[in-house]
């Protein structure tokens, strides 16, 4: 095998591949989100009858997963590569396998498997059927046919692919720690770029975040979201809902939300997303 | 020969066998309904296809003729019109026939035999439309409509061949044909099936083993070979064989290894990680100890002989085991420093149920109950040990290892306890107090384990009943039925004499709990062939709250009522009870009973009762229930004779009263053993 792709080359290869298959190459949404699915290009665009094909990298934040840069496999900030194809094209699996070829995975030597895994997001009120994709026993992607988002049936159904970029790169490059990943071909590692980020944000997420203010922000963005829905502005309203979701994740990482309250908070975010989606669906039907 | 193949994107492994059977059943039923004869029908699945082959399909269905009676010839035009519509005939095709009710119209419906091809072309789309998956989805352009076709994953192709001929039909937006696909890597192009008869061989040549049995056989045999070559043995796991067979079309087992240092992690955690997360087989060395090796099943013959796949899987497992070891060592450090007690404060933060407090609250209650079970003599364990075991039993729920692998709750607590030198009886109780987890699971019998296992379950049951949350209908969110069944199994297996009323009390909730246990006991005993009415008969006496004694009584009763003596005595009892009931309806007897025992059969019954009553009572008191039944059996002859010879309703009210009193004594004697009125004849 030739020299494995660097982290950034892998992203470029995926963008080129999906771009050449008709996807709009978007940039990340400029807010903190927990997963690529939260990007309005997926959540909102998966609703309504319009055809839509897009791909993008999305930095994803999971405050509770921070390990102060000390765990070689866990990050509180990482990247997902997201592809959304609506309606789902024929032979989406074939297309997906082509993307693995494009990043240098030799499928005559590696074992790619589709293992049942039905996706559900309680926060987005969304679910779909699909698989986790295994390469030699490692989960490298999530593959989902969206059936419902924010309580609305997807019509038509979108196919969603999510690649865990760090994991995939570790696999391709054969390194044991995220921080040892070659970020580019000029000697810069992932650790050079992100180690400090992990250390400081772990401290922020677990220790420093002012919970009183976070609770206040949560109330504020919730109010703002509803006010914007009332003014029939679902896109700005959705940004407020995303913020509410991230604020909840931060509060959760700070350990100030009890097990009993957790469900209630998730329900509040879901209600916001639902209100936004109801408004959005009216505009795009 | 007929072939049907329904191609789709990867079908979940767990659904494949049931789907194949459903396909077979639907097909056979549909052909039967159509009157088309056929031979053996085989159906099976791979991850990417459901297929069915039917041998000896007849060329056509049998024709048939049916005569349908219509309205009278003189009926209103509307009625005749309706009949014509129903039969699809015209008026002149109807036959007029004389009947006792006048001239009536008859239709002769002839159904021509239809060709197999026509029938199959109708049957296939119907099967696809009606197919029921545990979970199904919409996809693609058609999903613009929410009424779009549904399948388990996108349906991608239909092959329908009657011998060499395509059976042309359409379903879910697809047209049937002869094109399929072979293995994704080994034969990625289009595969054209020549005939139904060549299907399986053509697939095999395209590196697809269509038979799930063959894939299972290859996985099991090859995995065992690889293990043997490495001087190890495969830990058999049928479920895992089937799951891997459902994930592969061309299974290739490969042996990988992991660092022996990981063996410091409890065996169950390693096996669980390998099995659940990775679907690997575990291996044992010649002493039966877990070996630092595994077998994974790839879905292809890799060009490098599987070296890269093995290497990749080893890395994945190693990362997972590193995580597991990290958690395990963290827990070890915790208990070495502060004992299992170090975990306990965290239990205060976990809500068991909002009305029943935190886990810490539950632990307090269980500890007190476990101690009481021993102090009251029900369980022969040291009360202090039982209490301590109960206090530690839930500690591992907040351990790092159980947080990551919830399935090993209890097991981890036991390992941690042994690591720090806690008495093995207590360590075992920590592991076993959840048991039995279901039918067929081990039932604890070691005294300390029994005390904690009973206390835990009884606390849960009484708690939810006191808070008015008993199971209703099909809803049993807290698995209380299983808990009650667990209590019953333990009481029986460990022969625990526990009068439940001393625990439950006598209020309404206590009555509900007793009824609940009675129901569970009936369900449990049904399988052992014990009659539910006999359980009712003993429960109806009231006061019997020792379930071990109750069962002994029921068993003796069942043996007795199935003898001739028992059957006759039951008949006598029912007759006596009916007479008494009728008499009681008339109010109390108007006269005081005549003195004496009367004569003949009446006197004989009185005498027999004088002997039988104390004998039965004594036997019951000493729990010799078979003897109690035998004492009653003596009454059978005198009772029969009494009903033959004696008229209860004597004109003399005082004699009638005496005879009624005698029957009442007889009924009461029987009730000393069981309430026979509950027994179904």
Each residue's pLDDT tens digit, B238-274: 999 999 999 999 999 999 999 999 999 999 999 999 9
Query: Lowest-pLDDT range, A73-77, A106-110, B22-26, B417-421?
Result: A73-77
In chain A, residues with a C-beta closer than 8 Å to the C-beta of B278 are: 137
- Give B147 to chain A, closest Cα distance, Å: 10
pLDDT of residue B108: 85
The residue of chain A nearest to residue B296, with distances taken between CA atoms, is: A137
Asked if A259 is an interface residue toward chain B (Cβ–Cβ < 8 A), one would say yes
How many of the other CB atoms lie within 10 Å of CB of A35? 19
Residue of B13, B312, B316 with shortest CB distance to A110: B312
Decide: residue B662, CB within 10 A, 0-12 exposed, 13-18 middle, 19+ buried: buried
pLDDT of residue A202: 94
pLDDT of residue A53: 98
Question: Whole-number mean pLDDT of chain B?
Answer: 92
Residue with tokens 């042996």: B255
Q: What is the DSSP letter of B68?
A: E
pLDDT for B591 beyond 70: no
Asked if A1 is an interface residue toward chain B (Cβ–Cβ < 8 A), one would say no
d(CA B132, CA B152): 9
Nearest C-alpha neighbor of A160 from the set A275, A47, A277: A47
Residue A223 and residue A271 in contact, taking contact as beta carbons nearer than 8 Å: no
pLDDT band at B393 (very low <50, low <70, confident <90, very high): very high
Residue B164 and residue B145 in contact, taking contact as beta carbons nearer than 8 Å: no
What pTM was computed for the model?
Answer: 0.80
Residue with tokens 């992607």: A141
Residue of A112, A135, A137 with shortest CB distance to B278: A137
- Give A280 to chain B, closest Cα distance, Å: 17
Q: Helix, strand or coil for residue B386?
A: helix
Nearest C-alpha neighbor of B13 from the set B344, B335, B247, B295: B247
Residue A149 and residue A124 in contact, taking contact as beta carbons nearer than 8 Å: yes
In chain A, residues with a C-beta closer than 8 Å to the C-beta of B12 are: 116
Nearest C-alpha neighbor of B42 from the set B3, B16, B13, B11: B3
What residues are paired with B171 via a beta bridge? B174
pLDDT band at B221 (very low <50, low <70, confident <90, very high): very high
Residue B48 and residue B154 in contact, taking contact as beta carbons nearer than 8 Å: no
pLDDT for B62 beyond 90: no
pLDDT band at B681 (very low <50, low <70, confident <90, very high): low
Structural tokens at position B324: 């597991």
In chain A, residues with a C-beta closer than 8 Å to the C-beta of B242 are: none
Distances in whole angstroms, Cα of residue A147 to Cα of each of A155, B139, B145, B317, B320: 8, 8, 12, 33, 32
- Best probe of the B interface among A51, A67, A157, by most B CBs < 10 A, is A157
Residue A34 and residue A140 in contact, taking contact as beta carbons nearer than 8 Å: no
Structural tokens at position A117: 């895994």
The residue of chain B nearest to residue A50, with distances taken between CA atoms, is: B144
pLDDT of residue B494: 92
pLDDT of residue B220: 97
Residue B423 and residue B435 in contact, taking contact as beta carbons nearer than 8 Å: no
pLDDT of residue B506: 86
Contact A156 B13 (CB under 8 A): no
pLDDT of residue A217: 97
Residue B160 and residue B120 in contact, taking contact as beta carbons nearer than 8 Å: yes
Residue of A111, A138, A156 with shortest CB distance to B141: A156
In order along its 285 residues, chain A shows pLDDT tens digits of: 468 999 999 999 999 999 999 999 999 999 999 999 999 999 999 999 999 999 999 999 999 888 899 888 889 999 999 999 999 999 999 999 999 999 999 999 999 999 999 999 988 999 999 999 999 999 999 999 999 999 999 999 999 999 999 999 998 998 989 999 999 999 999 999 999 999 999 999 999 999 999 999 999 999 999 999 999 999 999 999 999 999 999 998 888 887 667 888 999 999 999 999 999 999 998
Q: Helix, strand or coil for residue B69?
A: strand
- Give A147 to chain B, closest Cα distance, Å: 7
Query: Could you report the per-residue pLDDT of B335-354, keeping only the tens digit for each?
Result: 999 999 999 998 988 878 88
Mean pLDDT of B110-124: 92
**Which segments within B299-426 are labelled E, that is strand?**
351-353, 357-358
Asked if A111 is an interface residue toward chain B (Cβ–Cβ < 8 A), one would say yes
pLDDT band at B555 (very low <50, low <70, confident <90, very high): confident
Contact A87 B144 (CB under 8 A): yes
pLDDT of residue A260: 63
Contact A128 B137 (CB under 8 A): yes
Cβ-Cβ contacts under 8 Å for B310 (sequence gap 6 or more) = B254, B255, B256, B296
How many of the other CB atoms lie within 10 Å of CB of B668? 11
The sign one gets for the Cα dihedral B189, B193, B194, B199 is positive
pLDDT of residue B87: 85
pLDDT band at B293 (very low <50, low <70, confident <90, very high): very high
Residue A195 and residue A5 in contact, taking contact as beta carbons nearer than 8 Å: no
Name which residue leads in pLDDT, B300 or B553: B300
pLDDT for B374 beyond 80: yes
Q: What DSSP letter does each residue of chain A carry, written as one string? A: --PPPPHHHHHHHHHHHHHHTT-EE----SS--SSGGGSHHHHTTTSSS--EEEEEEEEEE-GGG--TT--TT--SEEEEEEEEEESPPTTHHHHHHHHHHHTT--TTTS-EEEEE--EEETTTTEEEEEEEEEETTEEEEEEEEEEEETTEEPSSPPEEEEEEHHHHHHHHHT-SSGGGSBSSSSS-BHHHHHHHHHHHHHHIIIIIS-HHHHHHHHHHHHHHHHHHHHTT-HHHHHHHHHHHHHHHHHHHHTT-S-HHHHHHHHHHHHHHHHHHHHHHHHHH-
Query: Lowest-pLDDT range, B56-60, B596-600, B626-630?
Result: B596-600
How many percent of chain B have pLDDT more than 90?
Answer: 61
Which residues of chain A from 71 to 110 reach within 8 Å of chain B, CB to CB? 73, 87-93, 97, 106-110
In chain B, residues with a C-beta closer than 8 Å to the C-beta of A106 are: 303, 308
- Best probe of the B interface among A4, A101, A109, by most B CBs < 10 A, is A109
pLDDT for B391 beyond 90: yes
The sign one gets for the Cα dihedral B53, B57, B63, B67 is negative
Q: What is the DSSP letter of B302?
A: -
d(CA B242, CA A136): 19
Q: What DSSP letter does each residue of B80-109 carry, written as one string? A: HHHHHHHHT--GGGSEEEEETTEEEEEEEE
Structural tokens at position A153: 């049936």
Which residues of chain A from 150 to 189 reach within 8 Å of chain B, CB to CB? 153-157, 159, 171, 176
């Amino acid at each position: 095998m030739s020299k494995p792709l660097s982290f950034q080359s892998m992203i470029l290869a995926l963008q080129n591949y999906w771009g050449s298959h008709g996807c709009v190459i978007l940039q990340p949404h400029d807010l903190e989100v927990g997963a690529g699915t939260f990007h309005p290009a997926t959540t909102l665009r998966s609703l309504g009858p319009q055809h839509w094909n897009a791909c993008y990298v999305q930095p994803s934040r999971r405050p509770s997963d921070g390990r102060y840069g000390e765990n070689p496999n866990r990050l509180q900030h990482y990247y997902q590569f997201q592809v959304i194809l609506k309606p789902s094209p024929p032979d989406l699996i074939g297309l997906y396998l082509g993307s693995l070829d494009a990043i240098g995975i030799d499928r005559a030597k590696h074992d790619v498997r589709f293992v049942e895994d039905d996706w559900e997001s309680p926060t987005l009120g969304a679910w779909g059927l699909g698989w986790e994709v295994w390469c030699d026993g490692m989960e490298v992607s999530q593959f989902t046919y969206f059936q419902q988002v924010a309580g609305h049936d997807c019509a038509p159904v979108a196919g969603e692919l999510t690649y865990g970029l760090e994991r995939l790169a570790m696999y391709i490059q054969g390194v044991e720690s995220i921080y040892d990943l070659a970020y580019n071909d000029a000697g810069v590692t992932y650790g050079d770029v992100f180690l400090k980020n992990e250390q400081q944000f772990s401290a922020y997420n677990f220790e420093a975040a002012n919970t009183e203010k976070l609770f206040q922000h949560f109330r504020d963005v919730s109010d703002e979201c509803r006010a914007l829905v009332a003014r029939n502005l679902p896109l700005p309203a959705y940004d407020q809902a995303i913020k509410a979701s991230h604020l909840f994740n931060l509060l959760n990482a700070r350990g100030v939300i009890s097990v009993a309250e957790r469900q209630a908070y998730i329900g509040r975010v879901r209600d916001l997303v639902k209100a936004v989606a109801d408004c959005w669906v009216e505009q795009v039907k | 020969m007929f072939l049907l193949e329904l191609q789709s994107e990867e079908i979940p492994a767990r659904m494949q066998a049931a789907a194949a059977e459903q396909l077979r059943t639907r097909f056979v039923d549909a052909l039967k309904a159509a009157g088309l004869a056929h031979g053996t029908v085989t159906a099976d699945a791979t991850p990417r296809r459901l297929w069915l082959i039917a041998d000896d399909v007849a060329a056509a269905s049998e024709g048939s003729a049916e005569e349908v009676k219509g309205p009278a010839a003189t009926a209103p035009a509307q009625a005749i019109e309706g009949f014509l519509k129903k039969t699809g005939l015209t008026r002149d095709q109807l036959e007029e026939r004389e009947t006792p009710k006048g001239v009536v119209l008859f239709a002769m419906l002839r159904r021509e035999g239809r060709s197999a091809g026509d029938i199959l072309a109708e049957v296939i789309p119907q099967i696809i439309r009606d197919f029921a998956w545990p979970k199904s989805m919409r996809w693609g352009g058609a999903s613009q409509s929410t009424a779009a076709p549904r399948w388990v994953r996108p349906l991608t192709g239909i092959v329908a061949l009657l011998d060499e001929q395509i059976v042309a039909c359409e379903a879910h937006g697809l047209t049937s044909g002869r094109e399929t696909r072979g293995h994704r890597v080994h034969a990625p192009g289009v595969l054209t099936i020549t005939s139904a008869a060549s299907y399986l061989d053509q697939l095999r040549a395209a590196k697809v083993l269509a038979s799930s049995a063959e894939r299972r056989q290859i996985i099991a045999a090859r995995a065992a070979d690889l293990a043997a070559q490495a001087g190890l043995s495969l830990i058999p796991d049928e479920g895992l064989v089937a799951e891997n067979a459902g994930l592969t079309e061309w299974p290739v087992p490969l042996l990988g290894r992991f660092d022996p240092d990981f063996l410091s992690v409890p065996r169950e955690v390693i096996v669980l990680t390998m099995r659940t997360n990775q679907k690997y087989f575990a291996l044992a060395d010649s002493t039966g100890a877990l070996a630092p090796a595994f077998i994974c099943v790839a879905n292809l013959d890799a060009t490098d002989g599987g070296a890269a796949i093995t290497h990749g899987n080893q890395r994945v497992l190693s990362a997972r085991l590193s995580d597991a070891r990290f958690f395990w060592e963290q827990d070890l450090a915790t208990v070495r420093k502060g004992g299992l007690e170090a975990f306990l404060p965290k239990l205060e933060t976990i809500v068991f149920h909002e009305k029943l407090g935190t886990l810490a609250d539950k632990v307090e209650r269980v500890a007190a109950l476990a101690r009481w079970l021993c102090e009251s003599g029900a369980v022969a364990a040291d009360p202090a040990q039982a209490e301590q075991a109960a206090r530690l039993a839930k500690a591992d729920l907040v351990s790092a290892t159980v947080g990551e692998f919830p399935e090993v709750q209890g097991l981890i607590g036991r390992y941690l306890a042994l690591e720090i030198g806690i008495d093995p009886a207590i360590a075992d109780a920590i592991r076993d107090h959840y048991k039995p987890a279901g039918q067929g699971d081990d039932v604890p019998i070691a005294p300390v384990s029994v005390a904690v296992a009973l206390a835990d379950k009884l606390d849960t049951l009484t708690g939810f009943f006191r808070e008015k949350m008993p199971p209703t209908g099909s809803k049993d969110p807290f698995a209380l039925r299983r808990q009650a069944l667990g209590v019953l199994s333990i009481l029986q297996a460990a022969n625990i004499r526990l009068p439940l009323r001393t625990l439950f009390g006598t209020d309404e909730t206590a009555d509900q709990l007793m009824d609940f246990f009675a129901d569970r006991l009936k369900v449990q005993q049904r399988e052992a062939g014990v009659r539910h009415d006999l359980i009712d008969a003993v429960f109806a006496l009231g006061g019997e709250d020792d379930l071990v004694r109750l069962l002994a009584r029921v068993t003796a009763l069942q043996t007795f009522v199935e003898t001739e003596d028992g059957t006759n005595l039951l008949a006598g009892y029912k007759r006596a009870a009916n007479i008494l009931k009728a008499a009681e309806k008339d109010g109390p007897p108007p006269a005081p009973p005549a003195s004496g025992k009367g004569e003949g059969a009446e006197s004989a019954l009185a005498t027999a009762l004088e002997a039988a009553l104390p004998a039965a009572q004594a036997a019951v008191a000493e729990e010799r229930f078979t003897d109690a039944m035998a004492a009653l059996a003596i009454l059978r002859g005198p009772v029969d004779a009494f009903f033959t010879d004696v008229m209860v309703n004597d004109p003399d009210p005082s004699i009638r009263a005496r005879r009624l009193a005698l029957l009442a004594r007889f009924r009461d004697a029987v009730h000393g053993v069981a309430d026979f009125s509950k027994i179904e004849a």
